[in-house]
Structure 1
Amino acid sequence: MDLLALADFNLVARHGGFGRAARAAGRPKATLSRRVAELEAALDLRLFERGPRTLKLTEEGRALHERTGMLLAELDETAAVIASGSAKPRGRLRISAPLLFSQVAMGKLAAEFAARHPEVRLEVTTEDRAVDMVEEGYDLVIRVNPETNESLVGRIFMRDRLIVVASPALGRPVGERPVPAVVRGPDGGDAWHVGAPGGRSRIVFEPVLHLSSLIMVRDAIRAGIGAGCLPISLVCHDLTAGRLVQWGDIDGPAIALWTLYPSRRLLSARVSAFLDHLKQAFPNGTPDELASYVAG
């Protein structure tokens, strides 16, 4: 396969048209069109659907772009690094991270990383949805308990667990009497199943507040309006100070924060540097480390 033609194909796919790609690269539009046509002929595949005013990737074209675009970018970066005689991280680094982790830790992490690696242009987007790394151009994503994805590899860098907490003034319920609760989102259920030193139990609750952020949930619980379910890293200092008390651990899988990146490419120097940065910030990946990092 002609790598130059493949690079031109990815250039056109990335910019969504021959004209835009030609202007971005400062190259003749006719040359790009010819090179893509030659690649299609060599592969015996139509890579673009060409309309009077639109250009759209075919299913085969999309698959080729997803599998080769990042790889070619990494080859370009590797060549630039070798030419400069340095493996120093540089260039753009786009990261997607979940809301809560971003709110409590990402600002500090990003500032420290930027100070340590001034030639990296770090961009962090906060969202809980599962982004398409290749389609949306992310180098690294952080996700909570992600679903298995054969096109991605990654590692766990932090573990947490959910607990039920309340103000000391709010007495723990007896029997099936519901307790007032602060829940995240419109549908928070009606009971928590918890494990405690005395054995497993079921805590029935009635929501008095529905909030969209766990930070807001924590603050409302601190105010004594009701009990709630939160990651222990978010409230461990409140538990130590006696502002909150723990009613039990939620039964279910633990919380695991993962870093994910495409498996069909070499890790760039900037992605490796950020992974090392996370490891230095959270060497053991415990909830106490996260709480201490946020409070420090």
Structure 2
Amino acid sequence: MDLLALADFNLVARHEGFGRAARAANRPKATLSRRVAELEASLSLRLFERGGRILKLTEEGRALFERTGTLLAELDETAAAIASGGKTPRGRLRISAPLLFSQTAMGRLAADFAVKHPQVRLEVTTDDRAVDMIEEGYDLVIRVNPAPDESLVGRAFLRDRLVAVASPSLAPPHDDGTLVPAVVRGSGSANTPWTITTPNGRSRIAIDPVLRLSSLVMVRDAVRAGVGAALLPISLVSHDILSGRLVQWGDVDGSDIALWALYPSRRLLSTRVSAFLDHLKSAFPQGTPDELAAYVGD
């Protein structure tokens, strides 16, 4: 496949027209049209629907554009990096991060990174699902306790754990089957008892979910208001516990949490991804819940 023709096709697709692409690149419109026609002939595919002033990608054209746009951008960035000695991160960096981490820490992390690396255009989206990095065009994803994935490599950069907390106004639980009002994340009818470890040993708490919320930040705020107890990451509530706003009833058994930064193993690690990994390491050198709590609370 002719890479130059492919680059011209991406240029036209990105600008949604031969005229706009020609003006943006200061190239003859006829040249771009000819190169795209040659690419279509070589692939035996029609890449654009042409009609009057409207130019639309065909289904095959859109698939080609989505698959090759990132690769061509990486080629350009690689050439630029080699020309500059490969030391300066540059280009677009797309990251997907889970909701809670995004709400509490990602804004500051992204801002600090943008100041440190002004030639990188950072884009962060929030999603708790396991996005497909390759199909959706992400350079790096942050996941909580990810399942093994042979197509991805990475490192755990933060660890956390769940604790049972409540407002001081809520009576401490008794291990006698008495229902405790609880604030839980998500929908459904599950009311599985909590098993926690306290200074006096293990305790089993029967719960009555009186409130269901989709965000752990909302859960924390509801617990602060005294409506019920909840299971929350210690990093999110450590300041409340220290101040006496919340009381820690115990640690949740088997609730270790690890945040991983993952990237595709099938391609070389770009300078911009390496730079963001270093940025995470600088922000959380030990990767402890206390570091995250301090970072969020600063």
Does the TM-score normalized on the shorter chain lie above 0.5? yes
Q: In the alignment, is the contact (CA less than 8 A) between 2:194 and 2:207 conserved in 1?
A: no
Distance 2:156 2:4 in 1: 37
CA displacement at 1:145 relative to structure 2: 3.1
Q: 1:126 to 1:32 in 2, by over 3 A?
A: same
Aligned to 1:177: 178
Q: 1:31 to 1:18 in 2, by over 3 A?
A: same
Query: In the TM superposition, what whole-angstrom CA distance separates every residue of 1:212-246 from its partner, at most 9, and x where no partner exists?
Result: 32122112223322110111211223334443213
* Structure 1 gaps, min length 5: none
Q: In the alignment, is the contact (CA less than 8 A) between 2:197 and 2:253 conserved in 1?
A: no
Q: 1:191 to 1:41 in 2, by over 3 A?
A: same
After TM superposition, list the pairs within 5 Å mapping 1:1-296 onto structure 2: 1-12=1-12, 14=14, 21-22=21-22, 24-39=24-39, 41-42=41-42, 44=43, 46=45, 48=47, 50=49, 54-58=56-60, 62=63, 65=65, 68-85=68-85, 87-134=87-134, 136-147=136-147, 151-168=151-168, 169-187=170-188, 189-196=190-197, 201-242=203-244, 243-251=246-254, 254-296=256-298
CA displacement at 1:22 relative to structure 2: 4.7
Distance 1:177 1:47 in 2: 69
Q: 1:55 to 1:86 in 2, by over 3 A?
A: closer
Q: 1:19 to 1:225 in 2, by over 3 A?
A: same
CA displacement at 1:117 relative to structure 2: 2.2
Distance 1:4 1:67 in 2: 16
CA displacement at 1:128 relative to structure 2: 2.9
CA displacement at 1:286 relative to structure 2: 1.8
Q: 1:260 to 1:11 in 2, by over 3 A?
A: farther
CA displacement at 1:273 relative to structure 2: 1.1
CA displacement at 1:37 relative to structure 2: 4.6
CA displacement at 1:247 relative to structure 2: 3.0
CA displacement at 1:85 relative to structure 2: 4.5
* Structure 2 gaps, min length 5: none
Q: Residue 296 of structure 2: SS of its match in structure 1?
A: helix
TM-score, normalising length: structure 2: 0.80
Distance 1:277 1:160 in 2: 19
Q: In the alignment, is the contact (CA less than 8 A) between 1:17 and 1:55 conserved in 2?
A: no
Q: Residue 261 of structure 2: SS of its match in structure 1?
A: strand
Quote the sequence identity (%): 67
Q: In the alignment, is the contact (CA less than 8 A) between 1:94 and 1:122 conserved in 2?
A: yes
